[in-house]
Structure 1
């Protein structure tokens, strides 16, 4: 648009339009990828200086760490640390990370944030809350530690006043605290690291005799207006944040597989690369691959319940390829041929209910849960040994919702199956069963999926 040729546009409007256009250009894919590459060098330096493994905070943190360097990932949301909305999430317990922290002496959690903040709320408040709650649950005492550079004394006091309540919620949710107490012999202690020019990283990895160090690494440097001109590109603070809005087909794995190609390309050449779609990709490294007899699945057992949840690692063209299981609930959208009845597979029972992603999928799950319950009752309750696998596209959302419903309705607190244990299911039962699942697999079911499960189970009267 030729702004100057339109007399109806005021000087103020023209200035605003031009400023908005320049701001958008400064945050182009070209500038973002160069910024991410720059910040990743700082992240690597922090890991080496402390001698601790790197853990990506989903989803932003994964962009700043090459796949081969990611030891694990966590889900700590900034919304749980927003001022006045602090919380301890029982559906994002992240307790799986304790094993790595204990085994390595600590961990480095990586995240970033856009302009206006020195560090994301996930690192300044959500993780410190988590550390304090876990310490209190394990040791019966423990202080809240926050960074004075990010949290005021008043806000610190308000958060600290709620640690006891959140600790009781954790203790009452059904988690096996005895096992955690056996592992965690020292408290967790948050330590903050940001790319401040005055920062001096330790020349040798320090030792922490009295705690396990949870180093909270903010990848990007705080700059005025969120951007800063560098040699050959414009630096974007928190460039990886909100990647759905800018990354197009690029994912963290694709970025790292094509990093040198991306960084050598001009802005125009980069756009052509994205349009052509000829990019290398890498498999994710954070999944637990379990090889069945003839096919790959990314699945986890829910303790000794006989139920497994997860996803198909690659397209499985026939359910007969999944030979380790005779009961299959497939909620994924990838097509798979249903088994034909014959002497070799007459015991294989499959319920195929393709569910699309997002809130639309959660609404469909709500409609399909009665069919899932009926399938479980007809095929599993009469079995002497249950071998049921529940699959969905992500392995952490709809399959969790289906398993959660089954565990809430048919299993007791010890994970033992009983015929219709609960004629009515309350929210406390659902919370305890979700905690049971979270202890077995790193999952992140959406709020919409959990609402769908609660809606169906609260009305289950028979």
Structure 2
């Protein structure tokens, strides 16, 4: 009996491996992208956003990215994370009248938890914080001796009463879970308000409350009855799930090839993509899809190698690709913010030429910028460069001492790598910031390690007003998690795709709070 069970398991494993080829994944993504294109054309004025990382595969062109984690919506891990506020999404929705967010899931569900719960929680908390801000603002504007029941306050209160702060969840979320979420909303709203987030800018941008809507491949839409988004009494956040929920693997046949559909194929790209990125895929999509299952792997290898050589010739980071074995085969009140995000260009409204590329973001008047290491070659030579990528690169600077390479590994691979390199990073930053130099902090993606290093520098050498004080205020205060969170919110105001990992943030806090240590080499 047990032998038969083992044989069944082996057969299932083989079938799963055969189904999970790179061609199957890319063909599935390509087919699902057609659905995304059709939905985006229903409301072409609304910007299209990819929820990192899976959603980034499903369209050749996105207007912006965002980062809502499914784990924040898991039943036993419900949370509102101030490290991932995505405030640029709210600003964008306010400016454009709404937005569309694309994501996918492999779980056999119609929607990932990021869409079922994480984003609905986010919209509700933001709506509540905006209402609280407007209520306080209205009361502050009253004459000193005027009653709270004055006509002015009464009209404003009446206007605010139409501001929907209720929790909108999809029908498949149970009433008991909805009740648990509602019990946490007040606390989450206070966390948002305490984080120093720029609620004022969002409140001025949003004319109607945010509200999620859900669209999947099973949604029925009558094309002659598509409503105008500006006719709704809310600002729509349209959640587009690309996954077909008919099954994890569906055998499909065309006139040329037979292949297996994979729901949420864009997920966990390290395990299947062989170094191919969404950008490279869409530049070569027709060639890859038309090549068929037998030639697809070789096509990918050629594309990835050509791109690597091109970047190497330009002096950019170009490591060899190693294929991992597949599993199946307003104001913050503390820091001055120069301008609201100029979302038409996807950058902060700064004069600095670094902001000509959304891959590098300048932090207001702090003389600090954060970005991808592959773009560091293009910065002005007057900049100092702190390279936290594992790969070094050559760059033309006024002085060789203006460049420092610290090959910092992610906390998943080395729990103390960032901690061990922080002293060198802080010394380098302090030396050059003292001289009034501008500092670029870069890493492979400009979203994690570079953000954490920037957080350590900002906390160590800048006062509460955002001015460089050579560490004086840091030596006189005790850093708390709340203070660190406020400064991280300030950074993510400009580095809108910043998504520092919990392990790396813990190392920064350990050092700044005085509890950091460097383990002895074994």
Q: CA deviation at 1:361?
A: 5.7
Q: Does 1:32 align with 2:25?
A: yes
Q: Cα RMSD over matched residues?
A: 3.0
Q: CA deviation at 1:270?
A: 1.2
For residues 262-341 of structure 1, the aligned pairs below 5 Å read: 262-277=288-303, 298-314=359-375, 316=377, 322-325=380-383, 327-337=384-394
- Cα distance in 2 for residues equivalent to 1:249 and 1:233: 22
For residues 384-399 of structure 1, the aligned pairs below 5 Å read: 385-399=436-450
Q: Which residue of 2 aligns with 1:5?
A: none
> TM-score, normalized by length of structure 2?
0.77
Q: Which residue of 1 aligns with 2:325?
A: none
Q: Does 1:59 align with 2:110?
A: no
> TM-score, normalized by length of structure 1?
0.86
Q: Which residue of 2 aligns with 1:104?
A: 96
Q: Which residue of 2 aligns with 1:430?
A: 484
For residues 61-80 of structure 1, the aligned pairs below 5 Å read: 61-66=55-60, 69-80=61-72
Q: CA deviation at 1:213?
A: 0.6
Q: CA deviation at 1:244?
A: 1.7
Q: Which residue of 1 aligns with 2:135?
A: none
Q: Which residue of 1 aligns with 2:167?
A: 144
Inter-CA distance 117–288: structure 2 relative to 1 (3 Å threshold): same
Q: Which residue of 1 aligns with 2:189?
A: 167
Matched-pair contact (CA < 8 Å) for 2:64–2:346 = no
Q: CA deviation at 1:377?
A: 3.3
Deviations 1:424-449 (A, max 9, x none): 32212111110110111121111111
Q: Which residue of 1 aligns with 2:39?
A: 46
Specify every segment of 5 or more residues in structure 2 that has no aligned partner in the other structure, as ranges: 133-163, 312-344, 517-522
- Cα distance in 2 for residues equivalent to 1:107 and 1:315: 31
Matched-pair contact (CA < 8 Å) for 1:315–1:334 = no
Inter-CA distance 279–222: structure 2 relative to 1 (3 Å threshold): farther
Specify every segment of 5 or more residues in structure 1 that has no aligned partner in the other structure, as ranges: 1-7
Inter-CA distance 90–255: structure 2 relative to 1 (3 Å threshold): same
Matched-pair contact (CA < 8 Å) for 2:386–2:404 = yes
Q: CA deviation at 1:112?
A: 0.7
Matched-pair contact (CA < 8 Å) for 1:192–1:215 = yes
2:115 to 115, 123, 126: 123
Q: Does 1:177 align with 2:199?
A: yes
Q: CA deviation at 1:12?
A: 2.8
Q: Which moved more, 1:370-379 or 1:56-65?
A: 370-379
Q: Which residue of 2 aligns with 1:4?
A: none
Matched-pair contact (CA < 8 Å) for 2:382–2:437 = no
Inter-CA distance 296–337: structure 2 relative to 1 (3 Å threshold): farther
Inter-CA distance 59–12: structure 2 relative to 1 (3 Å threshold): same
Matched residue count: 437
User: Residue 367 of structure 1 aligns to a residue in which SS?
Assistant: helix
Deviations 1:256-314 (A, max 9, x none): 1121112212211113323444677699xx9869756xx98942111211211112335
Q: CA deviation at 1:198?
A: 4.3
Q: Does 1:370 align with 2:423?
A: yes
- Cα distance in 1 for residues equivalent to 2:219 and 2:492: 39
Q: CA deviation at 1:53?
A: 2.1
Q: Does 1:261 align with 2:290?
A: no
Inter-CA distance 339–114: structure 2 relative to 1 (3 Å threshold): closer
Q: CA deviation at 1:413?
A: 2.7
2:275 to 249, 253, 273: 249
User: Residue 263 of structure 1 aligns to a residue in which SS?
Assistant: helix
Q: Which moved more, 1:10-19 or 1:400-409?
A: 10-19
Inter-CA distance 338–24: structure 2 relative to 1 (3 Å threshold): closer
Q: Does 1:421 align with 2:473?
A: yes
- Cα distance in 2 for residues equivalent to 1:266 and 1:146: 41
Deviations 1:350-371 (A, max 9, x none): 3332324453466222112122
Q: Which residue of 2 aligns with 1:405?
A: 456
Q: Which residue of 2 aligns with 1:219?
A: 242
